[in-house]
Structure 1
Amino acid sequence: VEILTPHHLHAPMTEFCAKAGVSGISVQKPMAHTITDCETMIQVCKDERIKLKLYENFRFYPVYLKAKELLDNGAIGELLNFRINTIGTGGPSMPVDLKSTDWRLQIDTCGGGPWIYDDGIHKFSMALWLMGQERVEKVYSWIDYFTSFKDIPSIIFWKYPSKNNDDPPKFGSMQFTLAPNLYYPSNYYGCDEYIEISGTKGMMWINQCTSGGNFVSKTTQFPPIVVYKDGEVKVYGEDLPRDLRYSFINSTEHFIAAIKNGTDPIYTGEQGRNLCVF
């Protein structure tokens, strides 16, 4: 079962489906309104022996998968700092009806703002996964409401925990930029993401996700992945599909395989809860 509903319905629907005996439940991000609801969802699925997945498709975007492979193989050394900028653009983009927009603007149905909470879960996910972290230690933020009802522009800053006293400090930041007059075509939502990661031996830039495949993707200035190390600049991922739809396809196929093979999905309920904690 795929639960793709306003967020306040995730917990009760998950409990209902689990007790109905379905083989697997995929819940769209964010997992739930509260950590208590997340814990309840995890426990009821354990009690009923149901496989629970928190659906976060950015984890399966081909360019991000390649970037993770490079990072894990030491492409820029030990990872120190993560930065992501999400730009809210002017489109043209996928039409979103008023009903779908309205529930995302209501705290009781969305649980938070449409940018920081609803969309931001993707970015919090990348901030942990790409950096090889499970949690953060401290979080600070400044959030404006320029349009009176949308939580943008904003900036969030955090510190990753240190495993040893002599470890170098590791930080991350997330920016939401409002650019409603910017012509920037997208087949999906009217936004795009740009990531920068610095390490002890180099830097990595990851260009685009939501609007990947548009005219910016076809320029030489914005290749999928750029790595600077030891005085050299290298480009990766130019042969990869940059359309966001592949992230959904890959995520769904992964969950089907997890159910058939009895393996853990990405994300598990516990990992989905940790994203909500962030």
Structure 2
Amino acid sequence: MNDLTDAGFAALTAKISRDRGFGCASYKDKCLRRRIAVRMRARGVHTYADYAQVLDQDQAEYDRLLDALTINVTKLFRNWETYNAIAEKVVPALWAQPTTTINVWSAGCSSGEEPYSLAALFHRHAAQVGAAAEADRRVKVLGSDIDARCLAAAAVGSFEEGDFADTPSDLRRRYFAPTPPFTVVPEVKRLVRFERRDLLAEAAPPGAHQLICCRNVMIYFDRETQERLFDKFHQALAPGGFLVLGKVETLLGTARTRFAVVDGRERIFRPL
């Protein structure tokens, strides 16, 4: 008989949190159950208890499970409409501010597509206003993620053909190599750095941020965790900064009174 009871699930997720420090309690149960089930089927086990034994015996399976739990489908310039709105409403406004540095935080950056896409938009704008040389000095894009292997891939800055499905041809020609492995150009790569950071358990990166992008990450968390993250982002944003969420994400609770809508369709907000 298959034992997929709530008690069995609770025991397994408690074990994962205890063994690997992964905050299962902050994720939606439905999301966790679905992704754990994928790995259970792959290993041919039918109960949470049996899968716990597999994890004890095979550390590589633990790594594959954590990959499954944290994976985000991502592409360069994913949902171009959002990036176009950022290019029109966010980038010029931030460039015009008198701040010495424009700090950008891509929270939950996976394998680096979002940080590089944002950096390319800033570099393009700087070039358009005749200040390309200033981009190196002013624009600092940080991509953070909990998955060290994703970050290692991000630091390489190379992409596959499928990663460009949403990328406008002019941006692809200007900012990426024309032949495989389609590496990002040095002018953009210099603007980006990566670090491992647990979005739930650790503080925001130090300093005030002019732009925070956390797209298609919040949907995996329960409401309480989302509200805590909105508070974290509000505190981390500089006055006049911007917050960008994913298309299916929205402000919750007190965050609705702490952010103003810049573009409701593309989920762009400013702190009040």
TM-score (structure 2 length as normaliser): 0.27
Higher share of residues assigned strand = 1
Higher helix share: 2
Tell me which of the two structures has the higher relative contact order, counting C-alpha pairs closer than 8 angstroms and 6 or more residues apart.
1
Give the TM-score normalised by structure 1.
0.27
